Structures are given as structure tokens and as C-alpha cells.
Chain A
């Protein structure tokens, strides 16, 4: 069995004295799409931030392509091939759409993603390339945020609640592009509040509850009842 792309080994996370994650272990293989679900405050965003290097962890708590990167700073983690689409988009307001995308390419990693390819995936962005980022609609901003992350040609794409604040039709539209992204060679972890969407998009699902892994399994085989129990902790 091939070595997993990402290995989390008993990952803990703290906000000062408050512990947000307790011994989370998870594997993500190449070309996989994993969904992480859970109630508010379960630790989903914290998990992605830890992987992306925005929060420091124990060195050997996170292995990426065989390398222990737990205590690496964010900019070094990106260089390894992990890109985060932050919760709430967080595009750079002083930059235009195109400039936001170009920032994503700062590290000049090799791969299939470039401006042309991103505009192909998201034509709406091409039409608005020179506009300031805040002028875009929520859905378009989300596209730009995803595009920005793709520009670093990541092997692992982390999507933090991309459905937040968006109309269902827009969300469906976004998720429809996920297969193209995976086809170009990235694995994806999606953190989602929308469980139906998560189960549709991902092959495997991991449910967090109060900082712990409550349930993992194939999205096709998990029952509603099991997910509900894990989600709410009954």
C-alpha cells in the first residue's frame, strides 16, 4: 500500500491554555478527497490551520510526503506543496483579482496551474481580473480564493468551509469543479458544514467532535444515524 501523502499522528492543538484538538490521527492518500465535518467549535478549522502551518504543532505530529513538518512555519509548508483556502476567503483587499492570483504563485512551484488554467476553470474571474477583490460577489471571491491557492500548485489543497455564506446553487457550482482540480494531481481536504455536499464530494469522511475524531469511514458506507451520533456526540 503506497505511503499516504499526509499523515496526522496524534495531533494536538492549543490556543494558549485551551486545547482544541486531542490526539487527531488521519491519513490522506494521493488523489483522495477527504471531508472533515463537525459542529461549530469541533476543531475543523484548527485542524486545517495546523496542517497549513498557521499553528505550530509537535514536529512529528504531521508528516507530509514522508517529511515531519509539524513545527514548520506557514511559508515553508506552502513551499512543500500544501495550500490553504482560508475560512471567509480572505482575499487581499488592496489587490486586484489577478494580483491575488499572482500572489498565490509567489513560490513558483512547478505544476499545471497557472493564470490561464485558473481562468479556464473559473471564467467569471477572467472577466473580472482587473477589478479590486472586494468588488466581487461572495461566490466569485470564493473562486478567487481557490484559484489563489491553486496557483502554488499544491499537492494537497485544504478548503475551509467554502460553502459558508453562499447560495446552494453557487456551492454546487464550486463543488462541480473539484474533480478537475483532483484530476490535475491534487489531493483535497474539505472542511464542510454542509454534510450532504461533503458526502457527495468526498470519498472518505472524518467527523470531529470537541477536538476528537468521532468517526471515519467511506462516505458511501456510513449511515445517517452513525454520522448524526458522531456529530452531536450522543
Chain B
């Protein structure tokens, strides 16, 4: 019974990890860019939510309406203004520039907000829970967060496969030169993809901020969780990434149950095992 509880908690937090991963996977799919500042941008979103709730006095969940568009705008500007210049055959520029960005965001947040741990208060919903079966209860908030993750990933799937924008993303990803010849402005398409990725990051950041304490330094760990979820799930499939997040969450929950200090380590080990045994991931889609 205890184990069922553990697994359920793991699955629910896995939804959050899947959201971290979805933003990463999206931009890698469209423009072969891995954003090392991804985790720090999640933390940035959390701090923006903090500012919004403190200055406007609104509930953190309501702050989503502000944070997501703000992050999307930041994403568009970031890609158009800076990251588009790094794209090309050479691997070093985007990697080093996003690494530099990560350091800048971390230290900028440190200067503005200090290293103090913060948290967004969402009210009674934080502790509300309902019993599922004998001895097992599910928190309302974690369930909401999981539902949000499903909605986000589902939304991204629909976007990619049923809309004109998604078509544009896939075409540009396949062949950027010919996409230009069909009238797609790559600079704009890439910027939209980054905007989308950061909108997801925005949602993830708000949910993270409600769920746990955060400070400027926790970004890299979120990047790593997202990255591990992508590798476990396999590149090229949104639902695969989702499954990867769930598996990571469950691995961490099992590790934490055995010994609280082993939580994160258990996740890393699960990642390394998958890397050793099935490097293409559990649900890879064959992709060029």
C-alpha cells in the first residue's frame, strides 16, 4: 500500500518533469538547439510569478495568465536577438552562449532577490487531498499539476500535427533551406518555437514555485531532470518524453522512499542505466 502511494507520488511529480522536458525537446526538434539556460529560465518564471503575486495580490495559479505570455515574449526576443546568431553547423556557439546565459540569469536573480528560499502560497489547495482507496490519498495540487502537464503535452501534439504553425515547425526542422524557399522566414519560425518553449517553461515555473521552495541556484537541477526525461523517453516523441518524465519521477520517488538522501541520485542512476542499456530511449521515433 505504501508502495502504491510512492508510485502515485512519483507519477504526479513526473508530470512536472515531463513539462521541463517538453520545452527542451521542442526546440531541439525544431532547431537542434539545446538550451543550457532552460532550467534557469524555469526559475526566472518562478520569480516573475512571485513578483506578479506580490505586487498584484493574486493567487499564483491566476498568475499563470501573466507569466506564460511574458515568458513567451522573452523567448521570442531571446531567439531573435541572440540565439539565432548562434545557429549553424558549429556546436560550440549555441552551447557556450546558452551556458553563459545560464550563469547570467542565476547571478542576476541572485543580485535581485538574494539567495533566500522562496515559495508561492496557493492557499488551502496546497494541503487539500482526497482519498483514492484505503490508505492512499492524492493531493489536489499535485493532481492539478499532473493534469496541467497532460494538457500542455497534448496541446503541443495538437499544435505540431494539426496546425499550420506546427507544419511550419516540422518543415523548418526537416529542411531549413527549402522552408525558406516556401516562404517561411526561419528567423521568425525559430523565434516562435522558442516563444512556445518558454511559455511551457512559464507554466512549469509557476507550478514548481507552488510545489517547492526555490532560489536562484536550483535551475541546473531542473535542466538535468528535463534532459534525463528526454533521454529516458527517447528523442522525437512528445508522449515518449512524457513517459520519460513519469519514469524519472517514479525512480526518484522509489529512491526517496528507501532513503531521503537518495532521491535525486536514484533518478540519475535510472538515467545512466537507460543510457547504458537502451541509449535511443524507451520510445524513440525514428527521425532524421
Contacts and interface: CB of A to CB of B under 8 A. Distances in A.
Are A and B a genuine interacting pair, yes or no? yes
Contacts of B170: 92, 94-95, 99
B178 interface: yes
B171 interface: yes
A93 B167 contact: no
Contact of B181 (A84, A95, A99, A102): A84
Interface string A70-114: 000111001100011010001011110001001110110000000
A84 B288 CA distance: 24
Nearest to A52: B181
A78 B183 contact: yes
Contacts of A53: 180-181
B288 A75 contact: no
Interface residues of B, number: 20
Contact of A106 (B168, B178, B287, B288): B168
A99 B167 contact: yes
A54 B175 contact: no
A44 interface: no
A92 B184 contact: no
B182 interface: yes
B181 A103 contact: no
A73 B179 CA distance: 12
A152 B183 contact: yes
Nearest to B287: A94
A93 B181 contact: no
A148 interface: yes
A78 B182 contact: yes
Given A95-B170, A95-B171, A106 B177 contact: no
A67 B168 CA distance: 28
B173 interface: yes
A134 B185 CA distance: 24
Contacts of A152: 182-183
Given A54-B180, A79-B183, A107-B183, A102 B164 contact: yes
Contacts of B167: 95, 99, 102-103
Interface string A143-166: 000001000100000000000000
Nearest to A106: B183
A53 to B, nearest CB: 8
Interface string B178-222: 111111111000000000000000000000000000000000000
Nearest to B161: A99
Across the A-B interface, give the 4 residue pairs with the lowest CB-CB distance, nearest first: A74-B180, A107-B183, A78-B183, A92-B174
